[in-house]
Each structure stands twice: as structure tokens, then as C-alpha cells.
Structure 1
Amino acid sequence: MTVGNRSGFLALIIGALLVWSTASPAHHGWGWATDEEFEITGTITDVRLGNPHGEVTIEVDGAEWVIEVGQPWRNKRAGLKDELLSVGREITVHGHRSARKGQRLVKAERVVIDGEDYNLYPGRDS
């Protein structure tokens, strides 16, 4: 590989990393959600757990909402076992909904299942 080709390749890699690093925070973190506290209760219809965070789909009055729960370590720390997030179970979610109009997406701070609280973010009021 010549010096010119290496420089072009390096510029391409740096550019790709910059695009990836600026696009990634657009969803992760809290920037995409409103500051307003939000509560919703529904029945779990689908579950996808893992990294970067788990997602639980719930049905509420015929509409599907996607709930972002914590990363596996965060759920475990809160005592929220995978078995508790099972299809057919009722769940109440306290957190923040998407700031994007019409998007039914909520970032959970705390969930309630069978009357038990699981606080995913103990340092935040929820």
C-alpha cells in the first residue's frame, strides 16, 4: 500500500468513526426522552433482553409500546430477573417517554411487577 493509499484509508476510517460516534448517542442515554415523568401499565407481549439494553413490548389499550429496561447488569442489580419479564405478565413502568411525537417508546427508571418495585436507576427520582 502506498503512502497516498494509506492516508486515504486512514481518513476513511477516521470519518467512519466520527459518524458512528456522533450517531450513536442520538438514542442511547437520556437525550431522546422528555424530562417529564411518565407512567404506563400494560401486558408484556414480547421480550428482547441483552446489550446495549433490554426491550420489552407491552400492549396498552390495543397499542404497542416499547419499553427500554436496563442492561443485564443493571437489571440484576435492581433484582429484576429475566423470568419476571415474561410474556403475559402485567407491568407498570415509571420513566420518560420519547420526545418524538407519536413514538411509543419509554425509557424505564423503575418497573413494578406483582406489586414489587425494581428501581433500575436508584440515583434518579422516579
Structure 2
Amino acid sequence: MRRLRILLLAMALGAAMPVLPALAHHGWAWTEEELFELTGTVKSVFVGNPHATLDLEVEGVVWRVELAPPGPTVASGFTEETVKPGDEVVALGNRSLDPNEKRMKAVRVTVGGKAYDIYPTRVPAN
């Protein structure tokens, strides 16, 4: 009976393998190289897996701002309590290669004049 359970588990994991690449961390390949600055009003904030996100309203359009996974995001000092809906945020990062997609990956988020370097090695030196 135990061998049958192990075999069934192995078969189930094998069937799931083609899906795993889609769940993998997608890095920066989907973004433009140049940095882009976006100023907007917070609609929602989420700090959790697979990575933190902000939804910002910019001139009536909602942008998805992706941050780092929860560990590095919180290590930067940015938490779900850092901002609330209605707060103004400036996000610095790389926008999507798809010009129709309102999405970017932020390296720095500034709230009330305080900067949170989500990816400090990618923030340009002043």
C-alpha cells in the first residue's frame, strides 16, 4: 500500500512539472532597461508571496507596481502599514516591455518623502 501511495505521489508531481516554469520567479526579463518614475494614488497594497504589489491610480488608470518578495520588501522597511489607500506614492523602476500593459517593477518607493529601496543595488547613485 505504501509503495502505491509513493507511486501515485510521484505521478502527480510529474504531471505538475510542466506548470512549474510558469510559477517560477520571472525576474526582470519582462521590463525595459531604462528607469521610469510613476506618481500615483494608492488603491491597494499587498505584502505577501510571490511578491509585494501596489496598485496605483495614475490619471484615472490603475497601474500594478510589483515589488520584491516579502522578505526583501519588509527588510527595506516597506510593509502593508507603510501606505494606505489614498496616499501618494512615487515609484521608481522599470516598466513593462509591453506598452499596453500598465505594470512596472519598482526598485524604490517613496512615501511622504521617505524612500524605501526595495532593490538597493538597482537604485542609481545620486
What is the TM-score with the length of structure 2 in the denominator? 0.81
In the other structure, the counterpart of 1:111 is 109
Q: Which residue does 1:34 correspond to in 2?
A: 32
- Find the counterpart in structure 1 of residue 41 from structure 2: 43
Deviation at 1:14, TM superposition (A): 2.7
* Structure 1 residue 48: Cα displacement: 2.3
Letter in 2 for 1:21: L
How many residues align? The count is 121
**Superimposed CA distance per residue, residues 66-119 of structure 1 (whole angstroms, 9 cap, x where no aligned partner):** 111222211221111321121111000000111123000111100111111110
Task: Tell me the secondary structure at the aligned position of residue 51 of structure 1.
Answer: coil
Q: What secondary structure sits across from 1:102 in the alignment?
A: coil
Unaligned stretches of 5+ in structure 2? none
Root-mean-square deviation over aligned CA pairs: 2.3
Runs of 4+ in structure 1 off by over 3 angstroms are 6-13
Identity, in percent, stands at: 34
Please give the TM-score of this superposition, normalised by the length of structure 1. 0.81
